[in-house]
């Protein structure tokens, strides 16, 4: 046994609290699925509107099946999410909970993120297989991933673009007003680009992504809003270092899109190449350390290492990639950005997004 392990063993909790922890996981894990269902079916939104009410009224308002709604409400009540009055058989979503669970609460709607638990559950069999045989699980098996990612992005990126993210780059706002070329790598459903395209009609916006499904949605979304200054292009960025056109863009962004790439170093090198001299790269990526021992107190590290194993790392390994994983961390990120050619890198943290760093650097 290594000496460094001893303090950890001495700190080990007695068995009984650990049993409680496991029971708690069972309950909270199950509730995650029910919260996801409550979001997707609009039940939280209905309950927030109806205040204290009956199963029948909730069922009618949400347009759902009463038997399922009743069972879901029971889970919500015993889980402490919904209040119940046995004498009147009424249910109420308290305002303080509605403020974290409804669409009108966005960008603070935490139910959006709980959907990831169900998405990961879909691929468990395939992941177990990877533990035995290596390899990875391709993006195509994560049904509904791009839809949830777009909701996530609308909350963590789009809602903060104007007030928090754009001001991180010196002079960016007037440049966008005047008209510049912007690239978003790994744009997914392109919600950030569409927002920017509408807000800054003199600038031109391009999104690259591998997923035809995500891009079709991005295109339709932009078209429905009559945006003619944004283009979404299907492009595999694996060899972006070789394929990137030189000196094309004044601003390049990557929102949560570097660590799950097949060859992230190639993508970063390509970004450097495609930036115009003086242009800026802004990378939003997970705020954590590359060293496990520094992440022991990270508030959502268990979730992040899990999403890494069951999504971010595996989608890269599925294509024989680097498999960096979600928790590649700040130290490795800085090293790789440096290797790409960036000399001075600012690491910013924004109040609305405790989960990410915003790295800003110029060519």
Q: Can you give the binding site for ligand SAM, defined by CB under 6 A?
A: 139, 149-150, 153, 157, 186-188, 209-211, 214, 236-238, 255-257, 260-262
Residue by residue, DSSP assigns 114-158 as: HHHHHHHHHTHHHHHHHHHH-----GGGSTTHHHHHHHHHIIIII
Closest CB to ligand SAM among residues 173, 236: 236
Closer CB to ligand SAM, 46 or 238, in the complex: 238
92: Cβ contacts below 8 Å, ≥ 6 apart: 47, 51, 52, 53, 82, 83, 84, 85
| Least Cβ distance, residue 138 to ligand SAM (angstroms) | 10
195 and 161 Cβ atoms separated by less than 8 Å: yes
| CB closer to ligand SAM, 55 vs 161 | 161
Rounded CA-CA distance 192/199 in Å is: 11
Q: Least Å distance between CB 355 and ligand SAM?
A: 12
Q: Measured from the CB of residue 188, what is the shortest distance to ligand SAM in angstroms?
A: 3
Q: Are 277 and 348 in contact (CB under 8 A)?
A: no
Nearest approach, Cβ of residue 186 and ligand SAM (Å)? 3
Nearest approach, Cβ of 47 to ligand SAM (angstroms)? 28
**What is the rounded distance in angstroms from the CA atom of residue 73 to the CA atom of residue 175?**
51
CB of 153 or CB of 206, closer to ligand SAM: 153
Q: What is the smallest separation between the CB atom of 196 and ligand SAM, expressed in angstroms?
A: 13
Of residues 92 and 269, the one with the C-beta less far from ligand SAM: 269
C-beta of 98 vs 318, nearer to ligand SAM: 318
Structure tokens at 197: 């395209």
Structure tokens at 11: 């700190």
The H or E element that residue 32 is part of is: helix 15-40
Strands 204-209 and 230-234: parallel
């Amino acid at each position: 046994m290594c000496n460094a392990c001893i303090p950890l063993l001495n700190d080990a909790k007695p068995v009984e609290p650990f049993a409680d922890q496991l029971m708690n996981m069972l309950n909270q894990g199950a509730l995650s699925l029910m919260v996801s269902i409550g979001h997707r079916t609009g039940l939280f939104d209905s309950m927030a509107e109806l205040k204290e009410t009956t199963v029948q009224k909730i069922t009618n308002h949400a347009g759902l099946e009463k038997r399922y709604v009743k069972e879901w409400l029971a889970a919500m009540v015993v889980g402490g999410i919904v209040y119940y009055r046995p004498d009147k058989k009424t249910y109420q979503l308290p305002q303080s909970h509605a403020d974290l669970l409804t669409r009108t609460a966005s960008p603070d709607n935490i139910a959006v993120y709980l959907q990831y638990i169900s998405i990961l559950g879909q691929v468990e069999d395939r992941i177990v297989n990877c533990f035995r045989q290596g390899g990875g699980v391709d993006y195509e098996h994560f049904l509904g991933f791009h839809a949830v990612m777009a909701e996530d992005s609308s909350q963590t990126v789009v809602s903060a673009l104007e007030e928090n993210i754009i001001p991180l780059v010196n002079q960016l706002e007037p440049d966008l007003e005047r008209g510049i070329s912007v690239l978003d790598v790994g744009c997914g459903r392109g919600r950030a680009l569409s927002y920017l395209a509408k807000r800054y009609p003199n600038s031109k916006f391009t999104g690259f992504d591998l997923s035809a499904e995500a891009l079709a949605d991005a295109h339709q979304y932009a078209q429905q809003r009559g945006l003619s200054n944004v283009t979404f292009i299907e492009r595999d960025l694996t060899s972006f270092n070789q394929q990137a056109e030189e000196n094309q863009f004044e601003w390049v962004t990557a929102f949560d899109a570097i660590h799950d790439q097949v060859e992230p170093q190639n993508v970063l090198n390509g970004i450097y190449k495609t930036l115009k001299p003086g242009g800026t790269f802004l990378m939003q990526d997970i705020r954590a350390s590359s060293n496990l021992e520094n992440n022991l107190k990270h508030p959502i590290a268990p979730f992040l290492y899990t999403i890494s194993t069951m999504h971010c790392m595996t989608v890269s390994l599925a294509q024989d990639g680097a498999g960096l994983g979600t928790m590649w961390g700040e130290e490795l990120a800085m090293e790789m950005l440096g290797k790409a050619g960036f000399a001075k890198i600012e690491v910013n943290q924004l109040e609305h997004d405790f989960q990410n760093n915003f790295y800003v650097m110029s060519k």
